[in-house]
Structure 1
Amino acid sequence: MINSITIKNFTAFKELSVKFTEGINVFIGANSTGKSHLLKLMYALCAANKPLEKELFGDPKRYITSKLKGVFKPEGKIGRLCRNDKKAIIRADLKPNRFIEFAFSNDMDEVVVTDNMEYERYSWEPVFIPPKEMLSIFEGFSSLYLKRELTIDETYFDLCQAIETPVLKAEQSLQLSNLIKKIKVICEGEFLLVKQKKFYYKPTKGEILEVELAAEGFRKLGVLQRLIETGHILPGVSGPLFWDEPESNLNPSLVKHLISILLEMAREGQQIFLATHDHVVLKWLDLLRQDNDHILFHALYKNDENEIEISSTNDYLKICPNAIDTAYAELVDKDIENTMGGLGK
């Protein structure tokens, strides 16, 4: 779990500090305000130490550097991720009582770890779900990624590895069976990995279909089904879930069910980070939340000096600025004007 992160001179950010909730954290903002970069940075820091678990005296800087390069795909040195050629400094506070701080400049090949409290022992493995669904391109993707130079970032490869894992034994997944059942109802069927090679869609009624013939929105939810079945999402045990644009290719009628599932996961101890442009996602989070739910809305925006800042609140009505609501208000105003003419002004 991530408690907070502080960033200086990294990609789009001059200086940013934000605290997170243990439940659902939602990033909103106009394009080019750094939502995806924040998700990827936090994912990289949570995932980079995975090889360190196997090494008694492993060096964090090597793995942090490698993961940042894999996730952000800078050309050449990692210093390409510095903002305006200035020294980048990043600190992440992790639960329980662990943190990592590192820095790098534009001419450096590796990061320099400047402070570290048992980062190597942070063992909560994260999951990152990118905007594009993976089930239809799963077959052969891992071997292709390992053998060829691809411009696709490492989050896709990591997800592919996660959904390739065999499912948990039945007795180990009892607490998750309700979530899996809900996803199957929404998708009107389930997704199966046959011979660890290719995914198929098995509808509730009818014959098994190639995964490419299933609705893309269903395939996206199928990824979530698979991650739960394999134990990569195990509320209270697994690391944070990062999901970039969960609404993409989902009909708004399905968003309600997805948010309901995410809220249930959060109540069981799953920390979740979402980046969204969708009013429906925000509104269902507000409407379906219960009094004890932990939800924080983080609005990223550019100030008068064109620097990115952040404003956080647990109250949907107090999100400010809210680029999504502003766009919808403009749409409603135009609709009223077209319908009522001068009377609508």
Structure 2
Amino acid sequence: MRHVYPEYGTPSAHRLVTTISLTKEQAALDAMAQRTVATAAGLVLLTAAGAWFIAGRTLRPMEAIRQQFTDLSTHRLDQRVPVPRRSNEISRLARTMNDTLGRLERSVEQQRRFTADASHELRTPLAALRAELEIALAQPHRANWPRVVEGALGDAVRLQQLTDDLLMLTRLDPGATLYDSGQPLDMTQLVREECARRTPPGHLDLTVTTCQQPVPACGHPSLLGRVLGNLLDNAERYATAHITVILSHAPGTEEITLEVSDDGPGIPAEDRTRVFGYFTRLDNARSHSTGGAGLGLAIAHHIATLHHGTLSVADSEHGSRFLLALPARLTSAAELRS
């Protein structure tokens, strides 16, 4: 590098010329730049390696959860994904997945039991029908054909009722909101009409007590009528002489109570919850000739739940006593009549 001082115009005899070499400084500057770039690259690589190691260590439980979840199937729902010891988002996710798997396992197991019970219930009348027809065809000249046809008709009716109940259960979606999507109705009129349509056996006396004024409710009349019909069917099956239906609603309250009681053998306290299960028969009602398929009370309980109500077995001195509680709807009598 060459500098000339001063730069303004002077005679050449008075000028000072200085020459300085910057080769060493440039080399030092280049070396410093190279070291800086190498250091930065090393730091980047070190940071990336550390991030990769930490991410791998952190996500290792996620990989174990993924592999375990991949191995699951409908035949191995009893297994669970591993839960990390540390309480963090991954452990909470694993616990949530295990809870979901538990609910799924219970649902699948319940569906399997229901399918097995339904198959057994359908097979029983089919086997009886087949046996009757085979016996009659084996000796047609000795068969009492009117009696054979009568027995076959009874088995066919039983099959039809069981099929209708099974279809009803499949149509009652647990996530449905039948109460909210229902229509205003008068429970007093519904109870009176349902009881008037029935013809109980000659040895039974049916007593119906309802309110004098309309009792407003909200729901589906056909389904609520099915609840009362199933309760009356159960009462007729086990009653000795009397069946009582009482509809009550205190003015200003938000609950309607429908009581169906009989003077039969009653229901033990330990069976008051189990009696609402699918295909449930108590020990003294296991006979297919006197007992039903064990779906009537289950359907009634399901419909009551979908209408935001409850169906339970209450204490009774004699026989059984079923209580249906439904939410009342604040409406006018004119709206019910319209």
Q: TM-score range by the shorter chain?
A: under 0.3
More contact order relative to length (CA 8 Å, sep ≥ 6): 1
Q: Larger Cα Rg: Structure 1 or Structure 2?
A: 2
